[in-house]
Amino acid sequence: MARTTSRSNDWGFPRWRGYGSASEATKVRLCDRHGCEQPGNCPAPKSPNSPDRWYFCMDHAAEYNRGWNYFEGLSAEEAAEREAADQRTADGYAGAKHYSWGGPGDGTRSRDEMRALSALGLESDATFEETRTAWRTLAKENHPDLRPGDAQAATRFQQIQAAYEVLRAAEEARAG
């Protein structure tokens, strides 16, 4: 007697078909806007404080958001109170906003550039003009012609020159 199996060919070993080649149709949620046939990947609330969601395509989500009034149905005092409460919760992030434009670890400068800036005594957000000014000042102070026989000044002069070359090359790479 032949026994029918309920096993599919999609699992187990050996695998008879490639991964992802199942015969079932992929479910696609369509945009909830009447007449739109685009995939609806962008959830939007049906009403304030409601767990129910519309699902729109990118174009209709943009249209929905353009017309959304966050303070609809509130009096002027309630709207001001809600805005103040939202601002209070957002103020915690304002203390860290300076990290967006400079500082170690933000990805704008390499480790070598950071070392070069510290060798010149500059902060991580120094401009190239500040770098050039610091380089000239330190080079004049430690130049071997001005301080003959001073081995420390000669070593410091070489460090300053190497740091400036690293920063100059990085600036040219950014500009070019």
> pLDDT tens-digit profile of 43-52?
888 877 778 8
Residue 154 located in a structural domain: yes
Q: Which of 166, 43, 30 is nearest to 109 (CA)?
A: 166
CATH no. for residue 170? 1.10.287.110
Neighbours of 114 (CB within 10 A): 15
Q: Please tell me the distance from the alpha carbon of residue 168 to that of residue 175, in angstroms, as a whole number.
A: 11
Reading the block at residue 35, the tokens are: 């007449």
How confident is the model at residue 167, as a pLDDT? 92
**Helical H segments across 21-75, by residue range:** 58-66
Residue 67 located in a structural domain: yes
For 100-149, the pLDDT digits (tens) are: 554 455 567 888 888 999 999 998 888 899 999 999 999 999 998 888 88
- Per DSSP, the three-state class of 40 is coil
Cα atoms in the 13 Å half-sphere on the side-chain side of 40: 17
Residue 13 located in a structural domain: no
- Per DSSP, the three-state class of 45 is strand
Residue 23 located in a structural domain: no
Instruction: State the residue range of the domain holding 162.
Output: 111-175
Reading the block at residue 109, the tokens are: 């400068």
Judge if 170 and 118 occupy the same domain.
Answer: yes
- The count of structural domains within the chain is 2
- pTM of the shown model: 0.42
